[in-house]
Each structure stands twice: as C-alpha cells, then as structure tokens.
Homo-oligomer: A and B are copies of this chain.
Amino acid sequence: MSDPIENSENIVIEGAYCPLPLEHSEQIVIGHGSGGKMTHDLIQKVFHPYFKNEYLAQGNDFSLIVPDRFDRNKNWVFTTDSHVVTPLFFPGGDIGRLAICGTVNDICVSGGQPLFLTAGFIIEEGLSISVLHKVLASMREAANEAGVSIIAGDTKVVEKGKADQLFITTSGFGLASPLIQLGGQFAKPGDQVIITGTIGDHGIAVLAARGELGFSSDIQSDVAPLNHMVQSLLEVAPHTHVIRDPTRGGLATTLNEIARQSNVGIVIDEINIPVNPTVHSVCELMGFDPLYIANEGKLVIIVPEEEADLALKEVQSTLYGGKAAIIGKIVSEPPKRVLLKTTMGGTRILDMLAGEMLPRIC
C-alpha cells in the first residue's frame, strides 16, 4: 500500500501511512473502525486468515453466491453491518434508518434486489422504551420505503455502562439476476465515474448533532435506501461495472478500494464533485476533507463511457439523485492509484483514509 509512485509528475503525496504490525501484543484502537487503511489492515491480517473463502475474497460489501445446485435463475446476495452511531438521533435520520439503509444499500450495489433483513439489538440497561419506539418506527418506515421485510430479530440487554444505549446489527439477503455483473473488480479504463450527489452530508450532520461544531447548522444526513435508484440505473445502463456506497472513509477511500480491486487508476476532478456549501464551510473551519467524510445515501457508479450520459440523466431523475455528476474517469496508469485534479490545477494522489477522523459515524 505504500509503494513508491512511479510516473508521477506534478504529484504531491499525502496521507503518509505507517502500516500497523497487528501483532498479538497490539490493542484495538479507534482507527481500526474507521473504514480506512487500519480497518483494511485489521481485516486482511487478523480476520481473513481465519475465514478465507471465495465469498469473502470477492472484497465487496456484499457476498454473491451462485447457487447452481439450487436455483439457476437467481444469484443470492448476503451482507451484514453493525451500527454504533452516536448520538442515536441526528438531523435527517437516526440509528434505525441507518441500520436499514446501510444494509439495503450494501445489497443493492450488487445489482440485487434486497428482500429480507434480520436485526440484532444490543441494548444498554436504562434505555427509555420511548427511544426504542422511535427507532423501531424509523426502521419500519425505511424498510417500507425500500420494500424489505424484517424476518428475524434478537434482543440482548447489557448492564448500564457496558454498551452505549443501543447498537443494531442488520444482515440482508437479496436476489440478483445472473445477467448483472457488478463489483469493485470490474472497473475498466475509459469508464466514467458518477457520484449521485453532494458528499460529506452524513458525517457532518452527525458531528453537528454531537454539538461538536460549536454552532448550529442546517445540514441533514443523506441516509436513504438507494435500491430503487439502482434498479432505475440498471434499466438504462445495464453494462454498469461498479456501484459502491462511499460510507466510512468517504469517497476517497471507496475510490481507492475500487482502484486496487480493478488494478486501474482513477482520475477525478475536484471542481466537479458536488459539496453542499455548508459542508464545505464546516470542513474548512474544522480542518476536515469532505472526500473522507462518510455518506449514507450516495453511490459511486462506474459505467462504460457510452452509457454514462444516460446513466447520469436517469440517476438525476430519481428521488435521491438530483445532484448527481460525472466526476472523473478510469485510466490504466498509474494502477491502484486515485489522482485528484485540484481546482488549483495541480494533481495529487488521493490515498485511503489512514486513521480515524470521525469515530462512530455509522
């Protein structure tokens, strides 16, 4: 991950990264939950050696299973996500909506239709039942919007001080047509890169809800189920190569994952990336980069050039895609790198998120 860059003219290296040894003597730190490099390291070095199989090796947020022995007409898609966001309620959403949308979105980026969700609740003693009612009502609303059923659940209670109010782990199951082949490994030079709207809204909305901005803002989380958007997209752009939701680690980390999986370069134009002006101001003020801030209702779509305009127009016509834009393209060199053409005219390497900027954002 820290190879020296070759063919690098006019490139500024940022985000110097000290790979963690992850020896047995080490401890888990907050950065291991960032969704960035440290999370990738933890997963690669600690988790994968124990659970190596063809499904996890796919390296996507979903596992696609071709159940040839069972059913030749549909592939199965599985995913899971634990949600530990704090506070539980934030402008534009709450942990319940997040738990449904996060899992629905991880299924739908496979091109599959999410059908069934399970939900495991870990509750801290003393949580008000009214909070639980609000969260469950929000889950129901999001599930109805997405068109999924919650078909199994579990509830555990731990003593006061042994959890933080409420954690929800949702798992999802969906069906995908074998004709659709989507994944981080399928980006091809020449493809166009679409982002389906403004970036950073979710992270900044949660930060605002924590009172950490020191002033009030009108930023709303973008948390939303995106399965209807994906279905509309695939009707007009059936040869789409990659769809991924840039959550923890933000757009920069997601693009890096794709560049590595597909062994391609990605060049994006800063000027074309939609950013809500308030998010932009907050980031400048707090020293954050919106490229690394979590989104919960956005997709990165990588699509062959000939389908890009149709895809963009279709996404823009959907409920959550009004501000979609083409922000860059896939190139062959340098492989496994993301380059950002800045508004100042320079080009810099955009690395994965190294440590942790905003813990417990989802």
Q: Which residues of A contact B (CB under 8 A)?
A: 22-33, 39, 42-43, 46-47, 50-51, 53, 55-56, 62-63, 65, 70-71, 73-74, 76, 78-84, 116, 118-130, 132-133, 136-137, 139-140, 143, 149-159, 161-164, 167, 169, 171, 173, 175, 359-360
Contacts and interface: CB of A to CB of B under 8 A. Distances in A.
Nearest to A119: B80
Nearest to A80: B118
Interchain residue pairs A-B with the least CB separation, the first 9: A33-B157, A169-B169, A171-B171, A80-B118, A82-B120, A24-B130, A55-B151, A120-B169, A50-B136
Contact of A28 (B55, B132, B154): B132
A31 B155 CA distance: 11
Nearest to A60: B152
Contact of A56 (B24, B82, B150): B150
Q: How many copies does the complex hold?
A: 2
Contacts of A140: 50-51
A326 B30 CA distance: 51
Nearest to A32: B157
A221 B157 CA distance: 21
A149 to B, nearest CB: 5
Contacts of A125: 27-30
Contacts of A124: 28
A30 B156 CA distance: 9
7 contacts: A25-B130, A28-B129, A29-B126, A33-B156, A50-B137, A122-B169, A162-B164
Contacts of A119: 80
Given A33-B157, A46-B129, A79 B28 contact: no
A132 B46 contact: yes
A78 B120 CA distance: 13
